[in-house]
Chains A and B, each alone.
Chain A
Amino acid sequence: MRKFVTGSFILILISVTFPLLAFAQAGSEILVERITPGLSGDSLVVSADFKNLFSRKIVGTIQSGLPSIVEIQIKLFEGTKQIVRKPISRSIEFDVWEERYRVRSPDTTQVYFEFEQVKQAANRLMNVFLISKALLAATKNYTIQIRVGIIPISAHQANKVSYWLENPNQSEEAIASDNRSSGFSLNINKLVSFFVNKKKGSRFSSKWFSSRSFRLAELK
């Protein structure tokens, strides 16, 4: 009887805790929603919405005056074959003296006075050009994948494992009599976690989200 009560209690605890944990995780996860392919003139374009891009810490960082970068990656597949890969970067900056926000992309700079306006602009991807329609086949099925991430303060720190691989602990001659030139060290645990986590989204980046499969004739 006692074993049964203990067993039941553990089962109830697990069944309550896990969904709660999953819910809590889902609540903070960066999401890509409503990936919508479309046609604009002779081009295939895509629109999408992002969710949970701005955590409290990211907002605090932006409002203190240091820039954050939104990085969007888009892939277009013909069947299983990738035919387009397009990266988009947007820098979000707040001028603490003039109290205005700037959202910069390579070709435009938009100015806002409220953070809510910044959020709305950064959370939307509107009719982004992917490829000329003439290069696509009417009979083939296409899918679009999108991943979005926000990098607080700088481009390097959120990608620190890959950055660390690019910038290893190379030491140099410490004192003259050592006659040592240089060496490198590679933390094996870090390397393993780099490859294990490569395909997962991090807390600053979403997973890859896919659109429904579509044909050109179905698009407006």
Chain B
Amino acid sequence: MRNLSQKFLTILSRLLPVILILVFFLTKNAFSQTSPAIRQLIVEDIEIVGNKKTKPEVILRHLNFGVGDPIDPFVIDINSQRLSQTNFFKEVQFYTRRGSEKGKLVVIIEVKERRWPYFQFEGGHSDLDGWFFVPASLRFDNLFGRGSKMGARFLFGDKTSEFSIFYHNNSLFSGTTFLDVQLFNAEQRFEHYLGDLKTEQMVEFNGLRLKLGGNKGLFKYLHVAFRSETYIPESFFTTTNDSIIFRLPAIISRNLGKTKIGTLSLGLSGDFRDNRAYPMNGFWGALIAESSSDKSNSDLTYTKITLDARFYKELHDKKVLAFHFKGGWVDEDAPFYERFYLGGANSLRGYPFSRLTPLGGGTKLLLTNTEFRFPLTIRNFPYHKSSGVVFFDAGGIWMPGEDPRLEDFFASVGVGVRVKLPVIGLTRFDFSFPLNKFDENDFKVHFSLGHTF
């Protein structure tokens, strides 16, 4: 087993130089400086008015410009939006006035603070959670004017339900560090395939999640996290026609008892995309190593490594080639709810969710998504209304004892549209064809939110 793990790590390490070269070439534009435009207006000072409890540094932290930086209406727009979306303020208004010399100006940010807790409706979609809705979360954001976020919410979804209390402080140690704390009680539906038979199993879990990370300098690419959770899986599968299967495969039944999972993780992540709405150049990446052992108060001992990298390169006039790589490895002792899956709207799109996952989950995963993206409308670009995409997905998943081989890869091709809807935001429709025949399925439509990556 250890040999296989080493083989897998060897493959990953061989891929690493290729990834680094790709990073260099594809992100070259994101790092390069464009020649400064002649006669730019420069920020001489930033004044904040109307803030009674909010510390000025909380507002300044949400801006992506500072004193000495060039400014134009687009920068003001972006920053007005950034401050509005904190939900700390009822109103945010930017003004400017002449500075001490020609070409310099003073930016005035006028805010009206929100004074009372407020309710928020939330919703979304993910492969693991399915569609989920939060009818009302009670928020106490910026209660003491230091920019912290806290609240409580009930989440209901077709695969998951959860009650959680959360706290986010973005200004620890003079704003250099953030802290996330979440206490939760949840239930999630896992899908398993017994041959062609689709079954479901509910897993109840509750616990505490802590995450500590940096905001500034090199430290902003790092975070450490701790989670202490208790899992109680149902001891049976249900099928789509409500039959119940009590005799479960060994790989599932070995993790049926109440299990404490405690993990410590270290994450390295960076966002170098030129914009988030429609990235045209740049790179986003995250590498996370997670360890579960008795030292972290866990009943099971295993290690999990996940690498997720996304590259964007503008080919011609807002037409973008986007590439996503995800690789993962986890020890065979990891329970099924901590393992990898393959297939679905954010995975291999030619197949239903988790359809390609071996029973009990995979311990090695390789997934690539390649997309050619092109805007269908360009008004308000990059916040335009719609864009189209042609994509190719390929990936494989393996069980303990299996070597990753090229012939185990599955692939699919397809086309999609992304449309920006009021309230909901970017909504995507993907039409995908599997290239490797599996079941009777030869066409899959996915409806989800946001870009795939």
Contacts and interface: CB of A to CB of B under 8 A. Distances in A.
Interface in A141-155: 152-154
B96 A97 contact: no
A103 B328 CA distance: 58
Interface string B424-453: 111000000000000000000000111111
A194 to B, nearest CB: 10
Nearest to A176: B308
A124 to B, nearest CB: 25
Contacts, number: 178
A151 to B, nearest CB: 10
The binding surface of chain B is classed by DSSP as strand
B93 A157 contact: yes
A180 interface: yes
Interface stretch (B59-67, B103-111, B368-376, B408-416): B103-111
Contacts of A1: none
B383 interface: yes
By CB atoms of chain A within 10 A, which of B97, B269, B287 has the most?
A: B97
Nearest to A65: B41
A168 B118 contact: no
A156 B452 CA distance: 27
B449 A61 contact: no
A157 B102 contact: no
A60 B132 CA distance: 47
A60 B98 CA distance: 7
A188 B120 contact: yes
B76 A66 contact: yes
A61 B96 contact: yes
A9 B117 CA distance: 36
B68 interface: no
B85 interface: yes
Interface residues of B, number: 72
Nearest to A171: B124
A167 B73 contact: no
Contact of A60 (B95, B136, B422): B95
A114 B382 CA distance: 36
Interface of A: 57-58, 60-61, 63-67, 96-97, 152-154, 156-158, 160, 163-173, 175-177, 179-189, 193
Interface of B: 39, 41, 71-74, 76-77, 80-81, 84-85, 87, 90-99, 102-103, 105-106, 108, 118-129, 132, 134, 136, 265, 267, 269, 276, 286-288, 290, 304, 306-308, 326, 328, 345-346, 383, 420, 422-426, 448-453
24 contacts: A61-B95, A64-B99, A64-B105, A65-B96, A66-B72, A153-B77, A154-B80, A156-B80, A157-B76, A157-B92, A160-B84, A167-B383, A175-B267, A176-B326, A179-B128, A180-B129, A181-B449, A181-B452, A183-B126, A184-B122, A184-B425, A187-B120, A188-B119, A188-B121
